Structure 1
Amino acid sequence: MLKLIEIAGAASRSWDMIIVGSSFASMFFLKALPSNLRVLVVEKGPLVSHADTLNVRSHANALETIAMDNLSAHKKLWVAHSKFGGNSNCWWAQTPRFLPDDFMLWSRFGIGKDWPITYDTLEPYYSEAEAIMEIAGDGREFLHPMSRPYPYPSHSPTRHEFRLRADSYWVPNATARSNGGRRAICCGNNVCGLCPIDAKFSILNSLELFNRDNTFLLLDSEVTRVLDLSRASVGGVEIRQRTNSYKVKADRVALAANAFFNASILLRSGDENPSTGRYIHEQASKNISLTAPGPGYYGGTSITGHNYKFYKDADRGARAAVLIENFNIPAIQLVPGAVTNTMNIKLIAEDIPQARNQVVLDDGGVPKVIWHGHHDYAYNGIDYAAANLSEIFPWPVSVVNASPINVTEAHIQGTCRMGHSGDESVVDADLRKHGNDNLWVLGASAFPSSSPANPTLTLSALSLRAGSKVK
């Protein structure tokens, strides 16, 4: 277990590594670090037990308020939670891999930006992350090569999906909602944000996997800036606890808060990299209910299947790729028989990150998002998929209801993107900050482009890779 420490004890020592944040990026990086390092993990919020969260039936007490100037035509929210384990407490545990094309948008389609690594570079770390999370899935080689199968079999499909899977574009959902292993098996109750039986992977219910000596946890403490950012080697961090500030020395620092707070810390530290804070993005999505011959549902988990028709072979130079999720969650209809004769799907489109969408500091040093909206590329992808749903169903499609563009996917990305040089990116392929030899910026902060796929597995694999390269 991580050993708890108070701020006075933390400030009186010099650390081999300070890691800011305690969610996926932080803990997977920690797991891969050399075992002899003395590490301090700093978490802005408290440690709240799963039982206490269930008692109040909400994560709202840990929800951050992220200031924003919304200049777009759509409502927008950015979702982040500050408590031990971060968003791993409330995620829905969707873990598809990115496809190989996601890493080479410019090379393949002449749009967006290539990553400085390829799918093949990251593939071994995908397998390692999947083993740690005990992913349930059904590997499909036509999507992407896999050196190892998923650790556990996929959840049972819905009755609609039994028919749909004759089409190879319909595949079982890869998920960290358990279907075998050390956690209880998912009971399909469809309140995954809380998960009353603790079946999904979280940092909190998997602490034994991150055990190591000489690692300490400081709670209720906010890192406000990095010390000596203008030098080749940073000197540690400044930590605010209530009304007091403390300087804590370290030989290495890793920022693993999220894309909003990582950028805020760097900007507050005086970072002059022209890309820092820019290109904040996440997927655009909308929900659609449509008729389907019943009975449906009765699958083994909340989201049972993905369709890749508008993703795997999409012309991504023309419009965004779109991943489709099938929800095993009935939508109540005031029509006899309509509940089981309805499918509820979500269309999730990649976005093109734009420099004008950015995190900035106001005159008082308080960070906020300047948001101009998703790129038309994303909206065009959603519109195209919605207009061509008949291509993926063997029965006539009739839309019962379609939502507006959703206000959030709860995936804050970009702001510290990875690349080959400091002229066009903030970190290198190993997530080390350009110009600083002992500072890493982890998580979806580093994503130089967006994918329709959920980012958590990929950012965890990136953290394992980055941690394994620390000397």
Structure 2
Amino acid sequence: MIIAGSSFAAMFFLRGLPENLRVLVVEKGTIQPHADQLENNILVDEDIPVDNRSGYLKRWKAHTLFGGNSNCWWACTPRFHPNDFRLNSLYGVGVDWPLGYDELEPLYGEVEQVMEVSGGGSDHILPRSTPFPYPPHAPSRTDVVLQAYSRNWFAQPTARSNGGRRAQCCVNGICDLCPVDAKFSIPNSVDLFAREGVSLLLDSEVRAVDLAGSVAKGVLVRDPKGAEHLLKGDLVALGTNAIWNAGILLRSGLQSAALGRYLHEQVAVTVLLDLGAGQRNYYGGTSITGHGYDLYDGAHRSDYGAVLMENHNAPSALRGEQGRWTERMRLKLIAEDLPVADNRVVLRDGEVVTEWGGHTDYGFKALDAAVAKLPEILPFDIEGQTVSPRLVSEDHIQGTHRMGVDPADSVVDPELKCHGVRNLLALGAGSFPTGPAANPTLTLSALSLRAGRAV
């Protein structure tokens, strides 16, 4: 088995593989120890070209080093809602996934154990067969009020440590480069994936899969000097990200009408709410303490998307009035959006370019509705409200090799095998047929674990 990439998708897939396979993991970057990242205050950021036709700023984020974006993620680990998998059959929009929540639920639990996720016990809006591995972080002062007031407000599930083998979360609110390495990452948990017969090739880019008809024979790899080499293997899995996976498959000549298309992610805004006198906030145990589902599921999804609310505890924008600094909430509203075929990955002179025409009204309308409803669903006196411009990116690259049962409109099957090439897999959020409001990492990890078990 040859695996391209070394972040969540690649490594959870590796964890699921049969023990008797010899495995080579090929990583485009090098190993950058956490101490070096802190000393230099930098991660190797990859420039992803964007042909942006949307009329607003757009960027995609990817880090080229061992562990990929697990080095920089915020470690938010919600599960998808059961109805996220049935958007078309329930609400007449988007498409249904070829599998459902019940099939992923045990795998969600396994991934949470590996990541040492903290959360709110077994009492949660989403069905669970096992409790969270560790207890929730201490709630912020507004979370205490919200959890007492609403049946749809919970501690945020997170892989920012609250017990277990990693350092305790330090609540500094700079989680993209955690000062104490408290969040789960591939580098700080690599022993959970290590096994006999696995080798790691660094500083080497997988450029294409060597296809012979309906069989993958290996991969074409470019070394640091620009020379290319053919590595032979019986099975190939791509776990780079949705953009690079699509580029590799396009260079390989894989034939699929959906390949490269439906590039998507959520759309979000930040809202600052000035609270009435005496209604104080913060003092929670991690950077984001609460999740609100009041605006998530319901009949409105026929017209506009689900919105997940995050209650941010890190006081990056305190009030300016003397003695009232903490009388403020910082909510992030994250809306699902519908994938559009013309948002896509293409090759120009053999190199990857993303074509971005923008989000849809389905996502924008969801944010507008959510902002308008905040005074109705929050049990606070709100003296003022400031809404940010739409965020440039959620840093969640999804779509481009979507999952389905029909090769006419999908690239991979529910086990993430490419239609027509059964020994080639495309892992990660590129397989997502739709873009739910919840963070994608836990789901793409569970899907990858499932795909490894199916080999």
Which TM-score band (shorter chain)? over 0.9
Q: Distance in 1 between matches of 2:420 and 2:406?
A: 9
- TM-score w.r.t. length of structure 1: 0.94
2:425 alignment counterpart: 440
Find the partner of 2:17 among 30, 33, 46: 33
**1:314 shift after superposition:** 5.3
| 2:394 is aligned with 1:412 | no
Deviation digits for residues 168-219 of structure 1 (CA, Å, limit 9, x no counterpart)? 1111000000111111111111111111111100000001111210100000
2:329 alignment counterpart: 343
1:326 alignment counterpart: 311
Give the RMSD, CA atoms, in angstroms.
1.1
Q: Distance in 2 between matches of 1:461 and 1:451?
A: 15
Q: Distance in 2 between matches of 1:380 and 1:299?
A: 31
**1:462 shift after superposition:** 0.3
**1:140 shift after superposition:** 5.7
| 2:39 is aligned with 1:55 | yes
Deviation digits for residues 271-310 of structure 1 (CA, Å, limit 9, x no counterpart)? 2201000000000000010012432100000000011001
Deviation digits for residues 125-181 of structure 1 (CA, Å, limit 9, x no counterpart)? 000000000000014656221110000000010011111111111110000001111
Distance verdict in 2 for CA 1:105–1:247, change over 3 Å: same
Find the partner of 1:241 among 185, 201, 223: 223
Q: Distance in 2 between matches of 1:104 and 1:139?
A: 26
Task: Tell me if structure 1 keeps the 8 A contact 2:122–2:131.
Answer: no
Task: Say which SS state the counterpart of residue 418 (structure 2) adopts.
Answer: coil
| 2:246 is aligned with 1:260 | no
Find the partner of 1:84 among 57, 60, 66: 66
Letter in 1 for 2:375: S
| 2:253 is aligned with 1:270 | yes
| 2:354 is aligned with 1:372 | no
Task: Tell me if structure 2 keeps the 8 A contact 1:96–1:173.
Answer: yes
Find the partner of 2:367 among 382, 386, 397: 382
Q: Distance in 1 between matches of 2:117 and 2:163?
A: 9
Task: Tell me if structure 2 keeps the 8 A contact 1:283–1:411.
Answer: yes
Q: Distance in 2 between matches of 1:154 and 1:433?
A: 39
**1:73 shift after superposition:** 2.4
Q: Distance in 1 between matches of 2:427 and 2:411?
A: 11
**1:334 shift after superposition:** 2.9
Q: Distance in 1 between matches of 2:377 and 2:72?
A: 31
Find the partner of 1:397 among 372, 376, 382: 382
Deviation digits for residues 332-362 of structure 1 (CA, Å, limit 9, x no counterpart)? 3332234201100100000100001000111
Find the partner of 2:147 among 156, 160, 165: 165
Find the partner of 2:48 among 58, 66, 80: 66
Task: Say which SS state the counterpart of residue 388 (structure 1) adopts.
Answer: helix
Q: Distance in 1 between matches of 2:309 and 2:129?
A: 25
Task: Tell me if structure 2 keeps the 8 A contact 1:389–1:397.
Answer: no
| 2:344 is aligned with 1:358 | yes
| 2:101 is aligned with 1:116 | no
1:5 alignment counterpart: none
Task: Tell me if structure 2 keeps the 8 A contact 1:258–1:443.
Answer: yes
Distance verdict in 2 for CA 1:197–1:262, change over 3 Å: same
Structure 1 portions without partners, runs of 5+: 1-16
Distance verdict in 2 for CA 1:147–1:321, change over 3 Å: same
Q: How many residues align?
A: 450
Q: Distance in 2 between matches of 1:75 and 1:199?
A: 32
Task: Tell me if structure 2 keeps the 8 A contact 1:233–1:437.
Answer: yes
2:184 alignment counterpart: 201
Task: Tell me if structure 2 keeps the 8 A contact 1:288–1:399.
Answer: no
Distance verdict in 2 for CA 1:118–1:97, change over 3 Å: same
| 2:128 is aligned with 1:146 | yes
Find the partner of 1:182 among 165, 173, 180: 165
**Structure 2 matches for 1:263-302, cutoff 5 A?**
263-293=246-276, 294-302=279-287
Task: Tell me if structure 2 keeps the 8 A contact 1:178–1:184.
Answer: yes
Q: Distance in 2 between matches of 1:255 and 1:216?
A: 16
Q: Distance in 2 between matches of 1:398 and 1:214?
A: 61
Task: Tell me if structure 2 keeps the 8 A contact 1:74–1:405.
Answer: no
Q: Distance in 1 between matches of 2:8 and 2:266?
A: 19
Letter in 2 for 1:285: A
Moved more, 275-284 or 324-333: 324-333
Find the partner of 1:128 among 104, 110, 113: 110
Task: Say which SS state the counterpart of residue 219 (structure 2) adopts.
Answer: strand
Find the partner of 1:45 among 29, 42, 46: 29
Task: Tell me if structure 1 keeps the 8 A contact 2:121–2:136.
Answer: no
- TM-score w.r.t. length of structure 2: 0.97
**1:270 shift after superposition:** 1.3
Task: Tell me if structure 1 keeps the 8 A contact 2:274–2:382.
Answer: yes
Q: Distance in 2 between matches of 1:146 and 1:391?
A: 30
Q: Distance in 2 between matches of 1:312 and 1:151?
A: 26
Letter in 2 for 1:384: A
Q: Distance in 2 between matches of 1:399 and 1:116?
A: 44
